[in-house]
Structure 1
Amino acid sequence: MSYAQILANAHKTSTSSGSASSGKTGAGSSADTVTLSDAARAALAEKDFASVTTDARATLDALLAAAQVTSPLKDGAVAVDLGKVDRRELYAMSINSNQKFTVDEQKAAAIELQNRFDHALAGPTAVGRVTGSIKGLYTAALAYFDGMGPEEKATAAYADQRAALEQMLNKIEADPGTLPGAVANDPIDAYMQRLAAGETGGLRDIGSVAADARATLDALYRSSGGTRPDYSDFDSRSIAAVALNSGGRFSAAESRAASAEMRSRSASALLQGLQSAGSSTDPGAFAQNVISLYGAMSPEERAAAGWSDNLYAAAVASYQSASKLGSLLGAATGSTIWSGSASGSADTGSFSLMDYL
């Protein structure tokens, strides 16, 4: 599970408002209550793609104006913060929906979409380097694909790539030594090639992130009369920029508040990882979750949260100890329930994921 996924789950748990219902009561009749699922409510609220495209144009115009630039690209890199742009809006930009977007705008949106996919795999990649198991990357990729909008899901590329992910998962179940590229159209194989070439991640310069955070804070102060900064809508890297006082742009009070928010978020993520591990039969599950969290965080986020290299090393050692203990327990009891996620892969002799990653 990636850092972003765990934080999203924590946020969903804390903000869930239960089911929505509507009823109508007349004389002599009982109330008829209809309970809607989250998916049903989302479907009711879904906009048509023409409206999404219009909103995408307005969103991008506002970002360009705020950054005082005419193009979202500079020297081939994204120069504005597209991190909070709705995924369907990004997709509309990337395909030049209704011919509303320039070539640079299309490219910037495509880069952001690629970066989001890469980020979703960052945590599972960190786990794979330690455990030798590639399955987590495919599970994360499937979750990412399932979160795409209906327009993306209607494309042939989506159908081909999602089918490849499912085929690979089936192959991995049958043979844990299967490597990416065993089937055509595998997006993990493409990701691995970018990873090997050092072309994944795509983080904006922390100075640019800090400048945006400064502007956002100033706008919040103006709208609220200068009250204590509220970081609830800030992404984690922006909070890290404030906490670390990147560029010397922030007051001591702002940095202290951002540090408290960052540590609170990381604590919530750790709690989610612990709770997730509690339902697993893998003795190294919590250590894997910590490794995934660490791998998905930027260097600035780790520094602001107080996550050192020593923490990562301890998580790796904990996983290795738990896996060894699990193997011993499995041998003693004759049960595979204790064998851990890497069992059946490290001893095959043909598995080369470590070199691959």
Structure 2
Amino acid sequence: MTSVGTATSTSSLTYAQIIANAQKAHQQALTNPPAASSSESGATNVTLSDAAKAALTTIKDFATVTTEARATLDKLLADAKLTTPLKDGKLALDLSKVDRRELYAMSTNSNQLFTADEQKAAAIELQNRFDQAMAGPTAVGRVTGSVKGLYVAALAYFDAMGPEEKASAAYVDQRAALEEMLKQIEAKPSTLPGAVPNDPINAYMERLAGGETGKPRDIKDVAGDARATLDAQYKTSGNGKPDYSDFDSRSLASVALNSNGKFSATEVRTASMEMRSRSGAALLQSLKSAGTGNPAGFAQNVISLYGAMSSEERAAAGWSENLYAAAVSNYQTASKLGSLLSQATGSSSFGGSDSGSMSLMDYL
């Protein structure tokens, strides 16, 4: 049998990651209740079947991925009644659910199957995904004054790339830059992006400073897609009951807020309940991942969650600026107390921000 251990970082989780962890844990609890144990473990061991192990070793060849990417894009364009995924140089098509390898095939014009607009659209979507993965850690960095969390999150993001991306020169150079920056930050916590060439975090920070990140699709466009999805559901099921299990949080928020005024009271109410349920599960997961007796870690996770959400997601989840302010205050209090305890005991085990580091706000 094969066991796979999974562990969770407390300082680099994004909203989407914590939501995914919460949903995965909930599903595992439903299908495989844990046996009673006298001790707690920081990892979850999952026994894989022979079929699952075979699936892990089976990777589609890139030609197949490319063919499927063309078919995926054709269907999305047809469903949206569009001939191009761009409008005025911006995304007009929702590519959020497209497989990453398929996006890479589009962006590199694999087998010469994609137009210039389609290549640009895929590149924009890939860039947006990276920026979204950095949003939570950036929010934490603004409070803690440390950029380490961004580099931890960026490495995880790069490690999840497909084999074709990992074979590119850009991947090799940028991942090496991330590793070198982490080494420099370990030696000198005040090190900021820009210390080494090819650093993708430095490029992200430049876009952030220029106001070129954090621009999701217009919520009314998202609501239009959500309306079409629900209509298709009703046509298939015939019961008229909304199923939000496959909706991402922004699509769900568009319904909960009735962003285009085309959702029924029942659809809005059930979407609001689902949104609050998901955000509650994310908060619970962030508390568990921080660990018992780690208020600073929990506060960081809440800050990361808040920072990774769009304003519409926050509104639908009922997360006000007061929640963010409370999380910041709790982090600062816990860090100050940890620092005082460390001074009193001569120990560095109480947590808190890296000493002597410059704030990201100063950097920007």
TM-score calculated relative to the size of structure 2: 0.89
- 1:354 pairs, out of 354, 358, 361, with 361
Partner of 2:47: 19
Say which is worse superposed, 182-191 or 226-235, in terms of deviation: 226-235
Partner of 1:79: 92
Equivalent position amino acid for 1:344 in 2: S
Equivalent position amino acid for 2:363 in 1: Y
Partner of 1:335: 347
1:6 equivalent to 2:18? Answer yes
* Aligned mates of 1:352, 1:202 — CA distance in 2: 24
* Aligned mates of 1:87, 1:355 — CA distance in 2: 34
Equivalent position amino acid for 1:20 in 2: L
Q: How does 1:102-251 map to 2 (within 5 A)?
A: 102-251=115-264
**How far did 1:42 drift?**
2.6
* Aligned mates of 2:105, 2:305 — CA distance in 1: 31
* Aligned mates of 1:325, 1:308 — CA distance in 2: 26
What's the secondary structure of 2:49's corresponding residue?
Answer: strand
Total equivalences in the alignment = 336
**How far did 1:67 drift?**
1.0
- CA pair 230-196 structure 1, distance change in 2 beyond 3 A: same
**How far did 1:202 drift?**
2.8
Q: Which runs of 5+ in 2 are unaligned?
A: 1-12, 32-45
- 2:337 pairs, out of 316, 322, 325, with 325
Render the CA deviation track for 1:333-355: whole Å, top value 9, x for unaligned.
11100141x13234xxxx35322
Q: Which runs of 5+ in 1 are unaligned?
A: 23-34
What's the secondary structure of 2:334's corresponding residue?
Answer: helix
- 1:294 pairs, out of 280, 294, 306, with 306
Partner of 1:28: none
Contact 2:295–2:330, Cα closer than 8 Å, also in 1: no
Higher relative contact order (CA 8 A, sep 6+): 2
Render the CA deviation track for 1:201-225: whole Å, top value 9, x for unaligned.
2300011000000000000000000
Q: How does 1:248-287 map to 2 (within 5 A)?
A: 248-278=261-291, 283-287=295-299
Contact 2:145–2:354, Cα closer than 8 Å, also in 1: no
**How far did 1:105 drift?**
0.2
* Aligned mates of 2:282, 2:160 — CA distance in 1: 21
Give identity over the alignment, percent: 71
* Aligned mates of 1:103, 1:109 — CA distance in 2: 10
What's the secondary structure of 2:241's corresponding residue?
Answer: coil
**How far did 1:283 drift?**
4.1
TM-score calculated relative to the size of structure 1: 0.91
What's the secondary structure of 1:338's corresponding residue?
Answer: coil
The root-mean-square deviation of aligned C-alpha atoms, in Å, is 1.5
**How far did 1:308 drift?**
0.3
